[in-house]
Amino acid sequence: MKRIYKYKLHIKDFQFLELPKGYEILKVDSQFYEIFIWALVDPEAKTEQIELEVFGTGNPIDNFNRKYLGTAFIEQSVCHVFQRIN
């Protein structure tokens, strides 16, 4: 049975996140001054590692393939979250 889980992200340029296979990312947002991803997952599925990047507004972005996931507002900062596509 699927459930919605919340995953904390770090405010840094690049990171890995372990999610159950077949996940569906529903939302990126801030909560209590931190960034989170909410995803629909099967908690019993095997996991896979995804690559995420967080960019501030105006920061340079190289030419990797990416999928935009969402934007989170933390105090005076704006963080745009992308998933690297291989």
Cα gap 75→5, rounded to integer Å: 24
Number of domains present in the structure of the chain: 1
The residue-averaged pLDDT of 50-70 equals: 92
Q: Provide the domain limits for residue 72.
A: 3-84
Q: CA angle 29-1-28, nearest 5°?
A: 10
The pLDDT mean for the chain works out to: 94
**pLDDT score for 55:** 94
pLDDT tier, 73 (very low <50, low <70, confident <90, very high otherwise): very high
- Minimal CA–CA distance to 54: which of 75, 70, 40? 70
Could you read off the pLDDT of 24-56 as tens digits, one per residue? 999 999 999 999 999 999 999 999 999 999 999
